[in-house]
Amino acid sequence: MKSKLLFLAIILLISGIASAQEKPDPAGKIIDEAYKLAAKEGKSVMIVFHASWCGWCKKFEASVGDPSCKDFFDKHFVIRYLDIQERADKKNLENPDAIEVYNKYGGQGGGIPYFLIFDKNRTLLADSKIKSSADGADKPAQNIGCPASAEEVAAFIQILEKATKISNAEKTAITERFKKNGN
């Protein structure tokens, strides 16, 4: 009887370890499912590239999910997070092919979090880069990551204006919430 229980315990342990090491879904699968849901619900898709170690990524996710602006993001977006740039001991958390999507849409060299906004028909509407102003036309666009400074939050609001219908009250709520990230 003891040997049967020991055998059962070993099998359960092995199966638990195997399931804990399962790879996350590939980026393409996650993105395709997001588009299907967005088409069904009449929303846009926001893809956010992040990593488990990234404090600014956690701030971005907390801000989007904050009760002060969660309804806005839920109303307009199907949001999906893709894990990239993990440390060597956490590479198993990365979504296969996510880094290729990140690079394809201009993320390389810009850091994380990095987001993309697509309409339900897969047309890119915006990314998380601050476009150069007229006086800095020769400077490359910079990733705002998780907006925190007044300039970053203003750029984020412009991105949201481009991709959605956003009310003044929603702009104010989002501005106030994201500025807290700088404190």
3-class SS letters over the chain: CHHHHHHHHHHHHHHHHHHHCCCCCCHHHHHHHHHHHHHHHCCEEEEEEECCCCHHHHHHHHHHCCCCCHHHHHHHEEEEEEECCCCHHHHHHCCCCHHHHHHHCCCCCCCCCEEEEECCCCCEEEECEECCCHHHCCCCCEECCCCCCHHHHHHHHHHHHHHCCCCHHHHHHHHHHHHHHHC
Is pLDDT of 15 > 80? no
Mean pLDDT of all residues in 45-60 = 97
Res 3 pLDDT > 60: no
Whether residue 123 is contained in a domain is answered as: yes
The pairing of strands 77-83 and 44-50 is parallel
Strand partners, 30: none
Residue 14 inside a domain? The answer is no
Q: Which of these ranges, 2-16, 45-59, 139-153, has the smallest mean pLDDT?
A: 2-16
In a domain, 7, yes or no: no
Let me know if residue 100 belongs to a domain: yes
- On whether residue 48 sits in a domain, the answer given is yes
Give the residue with greater pLDDT, 10 vs 105: 105
Residue in the structure block whose two tokens are 């990593």: 51
* Both structure tokens of 23: 């790879």
Task: CATH number of the domain at 44, please.
Answer: 3.40.30.10
pLDDT in tens, 67-90: 999 999 999 999 999 999 999 999
CB 68 within 8 A of CB 177: yes
Q: Is residue 103 part of a domain?
A: yes
**pLDDT tens sequence across 86-124:** 999 999 999 999 999 999 999 888 899 999 999 989 999
What rounded mean pLDDT belongs to the chain? 88
pLDDT tens-digit map of 20-51: 568 899 999 999 999 999 999 999 999 999 99
Residue 52 lies in a domain: yes
Domain coverage including residue 38:
24-182
Dist CA 73 CA 66 (whole Å): 10
The number of domains in the chain is: 1
Residue 182, pLDDT score: 87
Q: Comparing 7 with 154, which gets the higher pLDDT?
A: 154
Distance CA 80, CA 49 (A): 9
Instruction: Give percent of the chain above pLDDT 90.
Output: 76
